[in-house]
Amino acid sequence: MIPEHLSRELQKKISASDHPKEFAVEVMYALQSHYGYLSDEALSEGAALLGLEPLELEELATFYDFIYRDPVGKYVIHVCDSVICWMHGHQTLVDYLCEKLGVSLGGTTEDGLFTLLPVCCIGYCDEAPVVLINGKPYGRLTPEKIDAILEQLKEKQPPLVEDR
| Footprint on this chain of other proteins (rule: CB under 8 A) | 18-19, 21-26, 28-29, 50, 59-60, 63-67, 78, 81-84, 86-87, 91, 119-126, 128, 132, 135-137, 164
Give the nearer residue to other proteins in terms of CB position, either 71 or 111.
71
Q: Least distance (Å) from other proteins to the CB of residue 44?
A: 17
Minimum separation from the CB atom of position 74 to other proteins (A): 17
Q: Which is nearer to other proteins, 111 or 123 (CB)?
A: 123
Cα 119 from Cα 117, distance rounded (Å): 7
- Minimum separation from the CB atom of position 110 to other proteins (A): 26
Q: Which is nearer to other proteins, 114 or 124 (CB)?
A: 124
Tally of CA atoms within 13 A in the half-sphere of 20 that contains its CB: 13
What is the nearest approach in angstroms of other proteins to the Cβ of residue 115? Answer: 16
**108 three-class SS:** strand
Query: Are 68 and 33 within 8 A, CB to CB?
Result: no
For other proteins, which is the closer residue by CB, 14 or 101? 14
DSSP β-ladder status, 114-119 and 75-80 = parallel
Strand partners of residue 79 = 118, 131
Cα distance between residue 57 and residue 45, in whole Å:
10
